[in-house]
Amino acid sequence: MRTDCVAPEQGPSFVLSCRGYRRQSQHGAPARSGNLSFMIGNQVVAEICHADLMESWRAAECLSASEAMRMTEVAGERLAEVVESGIAAADLTNAVTDAAVVFLLAMKRFGISDPKRIPACTVMWNGQEHREHVLLGA
| Overall average pLDDT of the 64-83 stretch | 94
CA–CA dist 72, 45 (Å, integer): 20
Angle, nearest 10°, between helix axes 50-61 and 92-110? 60
Question: What pLDDT, in 10s, does the model give residues 5-63?
Answer: 444 456 678 999 999 998 765 555 444 567 899 999 888 899 999 999 999 999 999 99
**CB neighbour class for 82 (10 Å; exposed up to 12, middle 13-18, buried from 19):** buried
Domain boundaries, the chain: 35-136
- Strands of the chain, DSSP E: 14-18, 22-24, 33-40, 44-48, 121-126, 131-136
**Angle at the Cα of 80 from the Cα atoms of 78 and 82, rounded to 5 degrees:** 70
- pTM (2 decimals)? 0.83
- Averaged pLDDT score across all residues of the chain: 85
What integer pLDDT is reported at residue 5 of this predicted model? Answer: 44
What integer pLDDT is reported at residue 22 of this predicted model? Answer: 83
